[in-house]
Amino acid sequence: MDDITLLQLLLANLAIFAGAFLQGLAGYGIGTLSAPLLFLISPLFLPGPLILNAVLLTILILWRSRSSLSFRPVRFAIVGDIVGTLLAVVTLALLTARGFELAFGILILLAVILSVVGIQPVLNPRNSVIAGAASGYMGTITAVGGPPIALIYQNEKGPLVRANLSAFFLFASLASAVALFFSGFISTREWWLFATLLPGTLIGFLASGHLVNRIPFGALRPIILGIAAIAGVSAIIKALLP
């Protein structure tokens, strides 16, 4: 497409490879890491193309870790996600292009803050609904829905986290994609961009399978949050500049 150069496509695939690899290790990350990078490369990759790739990635990860799935906590988060997604669609319908950039930056910084403040909510139905709503709202607008739902799973075992988060993100990504499609935010261009990002998603998933129990997520966390914070500030500055 005329709006996207070959260099941007290559950089975008590297960005989504990193996010898919991280999500394969930790259960989330394609939004937290890839979305800020993709925004800096070109806002056209957000939110539709990234969310469509997130749907595919969560299917693959859920299948790989299906034996560790505990669906009961996930269903409460799904209820919250429905509410958050509907609110996000209304928000997107009201935003201008500059308003989207500003909202993107603010929500990205909010995601970073949620990741570093050290809140440790208990995994229970009420908190699952609240986290699901926040994740659905943020995920539909920015494709970064991981931090709210990850907060309530931060003290759980790795296999359970990967399985349950993948089950939640599969529903959440599908709900966001359907809402964006019927709202006119996913059209032919978004499907084309989704297809161009597929290599990065698939290679990232396959690479994570070889290292899923070898690389500690904690070692990568500061880098991920730093990248996200830079992108969030950049989006806010871009929106505020004349």
Q: What percent of the chain has pLDDT over 90?
A: 31
Beta-carbon neighbour count of residue 158 at 10 Å?
16
Residue carrying the six token digits 């989006």: 235
In the 8-state DSSP scheme, what is residue 209? H
Please say if the pLDDT value at position 156 is more than 70.
no
pLDDT tens-digit series, residues 89-102: 999 888 888 888 88
Give the pLDDT confidence score for residue 66 in this predicted structure.
79
In the 8-state DSSP scheme, what is residue 31? I
Sign of CA dihedral 28, 45, 77, 91: positive
Q: How many CA atoms lie within 13 A of 100 on its CB side?
A: 19
Contact, 49 vs 201, CB < 8 A?
no
pLDDT tens-digit series, residues 201-241: 999 999 988 776 666 656 666 766 676 677 778 778 877 87
**Per-residue b/e over 75-101, b at no fewer than 16 CB within 10 Å?**
ebbbebbbebbbebbeebeeeeeeebb
The Cα 233–Cα 214 span in angstroms is 33
Spatial neighbors of 159 by CB under 8 A, at least 6 apart, are 65, 67, 68
Helix axes 125-142, 71-94, angle to 10 degrees: 40
Q: How many CA atoms lie within 13 A of 21 on its CB side?
A: 18
Per-residue pLDDT band for 145 (boundaries 50, 70, 90) equals: confident
In the 8-state DSSP scheme, what is residue 143? S
Per-residue pLDDT band for 9 (boundaries 50, 70, 90) equals: very high
Residues 46-59 have a mean pLDDT of: 93
